Structures are given as C-alpha cells and as structure tokens.
Structure 1
Amino acid sequence: MENDFTRMKLKQWAEQDRPREKLLLNGRRSLSDAELMAILIGSGSKDETAVELSKRILRDVGNNLGDLARLSLADLCAYKGIGEAKGIAIIAALELGRRRKEYTAEEKPQITSSEDVYRILKSVFADLSHEEFWILLLNTRNRVIGKELISKGGMGVVAVDAKTVFQAVLQAKATGIILSHNHPSGALTPSLADKSLTDKIVSGAKCLDIRVLDHVIVSDEGYYSFIDNGQMP
C-alpha cells in the first residue's frame, strides 16, 4: 500500500503532503529542494511521482544545487519523466536564482538625505509638462525596495487617493515611504494642497505603523524637502 501511495500523482496526495498545498499552508521555506523542484516539473512518470523523480535527480548530483545548475538540457532530458519543457523550466529557475545572487542588499540605494531622494527621482520627473505623484518604498534600513507612480494630473495639480498610497505600501511590505511630486512650473514652494495631503498621509500612516520620512517636490530648478524645511507634521 505504501508503494502504491508514493506513486500517486500530486493531485491525489493528501493536501498536507502535496508541495503546492504545503507551500500555501506553511510557506516556501517549509519545502525541501526536491519538493520545490517537483512544483517546477509538475508531474513525474508512471513509475514515480514528481517528488521521487526530483529526489533522484538531486541525489545524482550529490544534492548540490550548484552541480544541478551545471547539467545541460540533454542531461536532464535523459531522466524518464523529464521532457524538454520540464528541463527548460528547471534550467530557467536555476538561472533566476543565479541572477538573484548578483543583486545584493547593498545595491538597493539607501536614503540618508533629501539629496538621495532627488538623485533617484529627478530622471523620473525630467521634462514632464504635467504633475505626477510618486512614492519611494523603503525597508527598515531605509533602503529603496521600489518606487510607485500613484497618480498623474494636469499642469498645476494632481489628485492623490491616500488609500492607493497605502495599498502600494502594504503590497510591497514596505515599512517606510517618501512622498514626491513635481511642479512643472518650476516653483518649489509647497502649496496648501501639498501640505494638506502630506498631513493626511502622515496621519493615516501612523495607524498602520508606516514611517513617512519626507515629501520632496521636484522641478527643473531643483527640489524642496519638507523635512529639511521643518514642514513634516
């Protein structure tokens, strides 16, 4: 009976034993290398499940993912149950992992001043004839993990929905944000509407334990920082 069970297809396994469901229930770190690989290939053969096939391939390379990455498509396709499409999926996944290692945390720019914000966003606002509102998404070390366009407006105004701002922050799992918009007119003095919006977002952010570090206005003439000028609430 145990032999028959282990040869059942993934769809027939008990939910807690299936790699996809295990990932959903317990998170990606709960899966073994073989289980992660089984998700990639989806199915095995009539003689073994995707997990068993994955374990066999990994065993042949000494359970070393580096050595697995050195296998050619032909090497992978030599395994019964691995066709060209599955082999390519494995190679592509390993290549993504290799490329990820090239991007270290240090490559995420760290915000230490308003000048850093301006340097990151000045090209975003360059030569625009309309207003745009962007946010920089930050981690706990104030490193930029993303930037998001929230809204576009006209020559002198841009409407911003605070809910859209917080939605972007929560989706990115950011802990801090920097607000920014441009003034196509070249003026760098914040308007009453700019101040009111900043107050509104800062107030909402406090309820969500999100840090609002600054609001930077950018124009062709330079930039204006709320925090530098004592305007942050």
Structure 2
Amino acid sequence: MSIKFLAEDDRPREKFLLKGKNALSDSELLAIIMGSGSRDETAVELARKILGSVNNNWHQLSLLTIKDLMKFKGVGEVKAITIASSLEIGRRRAAQEIPEKPQISGSLDAYNVLRLHLSDLRTEEFWAVFLNQSNKVIHIAQLTQGGISQSIVDVRVLFKTALEHFSTGIIVAHNHPSGNKKPSTEDINITKKIKDAGNLMNIQLLDHLIITQNAYLSFADEGLL
C-alpha cells in the first residue's frame, strides 16, 4: 500500500510505519499520543488546534496544565494526562546525558562486559556483543540457553541480530560451568562457522570467549581465530 492512498488526517500511525518517524509532522506525532480526536475533528485536526494555541512550540505546550488541555473539545482528563506525561518524558530525556558506550580494545574488556552475565551460571548460555566501527558496544544479547555441557547457537540468528543493529564487529562468548576453559571440538567448529559467515557479510568476528567462574579463555589471544 502506498502512502498516497492513506487519509493522512486519520492514519498517522500507518504513515509512521510506512515512512518512518521523521516523516511525521508535529501535529501527527501529537495525534498518535492522543489516540483519537473528537466527534467533529480527527486526531490530527485536534492536534493542530492544540499546537496552534501555543504557536507550535512544544515547550509552551508543556507549560499547559491538565485543566488548560481539557478546555479543548475532545480532550478529557485521561488524554490530557497522556499528553502531559509524554512531554515530561521528553523533558527528562533532554536532561539526561547520553551514556558513553564501552569500547572494546582487547579480550579483558570483553570479559569485563560479559562476566556478570556468564560467570556464575550452572548451565551453558551463548551471548554476543555487537560493536560499531570504533569497537564500541552497541548491543548485548543472550542467544541461547543450553544444558550442562553445551549451548548451540544458530548462526542465522546471530547475524540477523548483527544486521538489525548495524554492527560491523561481533564478540561471542559462552560459559563452561565445569570450570574447564579448554575449547571443545564443537566450540572450535562453531567459531569457524561464525567467522566464515561474518567474512561473507563483512561483519568481523573479533573474539570468542569461554568464561568460567573465575577466568576466561580468548580465542583471539590463543591464536584460534
């Protein structure tokens, strides 16, 4: 379905899905927050009226009280609280600093990121750290949970997640509850599969860690990649 067939005043959600959030006007965004209009106006028309009353300024809108918002026909208490809550979320977001992403420069950095997830487990789990071009962490995910002796990862799921986060590098890890750091034949084989798949997709496998309760083994440090 093309966006040109949509009734724009009635379908801001569909426009969001088809063209993305940046394509929406302020009134369309506010209409999505409100969810509905009144008997006489669509949600977008009502949103235009509300924004017009504050010169289309979000800051000025945030200064309106619940009673001020309820003066508009079609805005009840619940809808007014929803608008005010959304604006408060925006205010808090603007006040927060963007958290610095940890940068991985070696196996110890990767271990410090992953050990809290893997070091004390009684069954095997397989995790991955997804990195950008600067080797900064952009996502961490648990991919599988297994039994006492092994946890098999689906390489397709691994790289689907990497593509979803626009990752250019990955570090995988799993734990050995037995405390034995030595990689098994299965560990070596899955590492090769991941590396080969990454080479085809231009997503580099940077390391594979085996984590025990108090230590780890790095495939990269051991020359096993």
TM-score class, shorter: 0.7 to 0.9
SS at match of 2:205: strand
Contact 1:135 1:177 in 2 (8 A): yes
CA distance in structure 2 between the aligned counterparts of 1:213 and 1:69, rounded to whole angstroms: 47
Contact 1:16 1:22 in 2 (8 A): no
Change in 2 beyond 3 A, CA 1:207/1:36:
same
Q: Determine the structure 1 residue equivalent to 2:41.
A: 48
Q: Is 1:15 aligned to 2:41, yes or no?
A: no
Amino acid at match of 1:215: H
Amino acid at match of 1:182: N
Amino acid at match of 1:153: G
Q: Determine the structure 1 residue equivalent to 2:141.
A: 148
CA distance in structure 1 between the aligned counterparts of 2:184 and 2:33, rounded to whole angstroms: 53
Instruction: Name structure 1 gaps, 5 residues minimum.
Output: 1-12
Percent of aligned pairs sharing the same letter: 46
SS at match of 2:194: helix
CA distance in structure 2 between the aligned counterparts of 1:100 and 1:173, rounded to whole angstroms: 24
CA distance in structure 2 between the aligned counterparts of 1:158 and 1:57, rounded to whole angstroms: 55
Written as runs of structure 1 = structure 2, the 5 A alignment for 1:57-206 is 57-101=50-94, 102-104=96-98, 106-206=99-199
Q: Is 1:33 aligned to 2:50, yes or no?
A: no
Q: Paired residues, what number?
A: 219
Tell me which protein shows more helix as a share of its residues.
1
Post-superposition shift, 1:14?
4.9
Contact 2:119 2:211 in 1 (8 A): no
Q: Which moved more, 1:106-115 or 1:215-224?
A: 106-115
Contact 2:119 2:214 in 1 (8 A): no
SS at match of 2:14: helix
TM-score of the pair, normalised by structure 2: 0.85
Q: Determine the structure 2 residue equivalent to 1:3.
A: none
CA distance in structure 2 between the aligned counterparts of 1:73 and 1:221, rounded to whole angstroms: 55
Contact 2:119 2:175 in 1 (8 A): no
CA distance in structure 1 between the aligned counterparts of 2:61 and 2:180, rounded to whole angstroms: 58
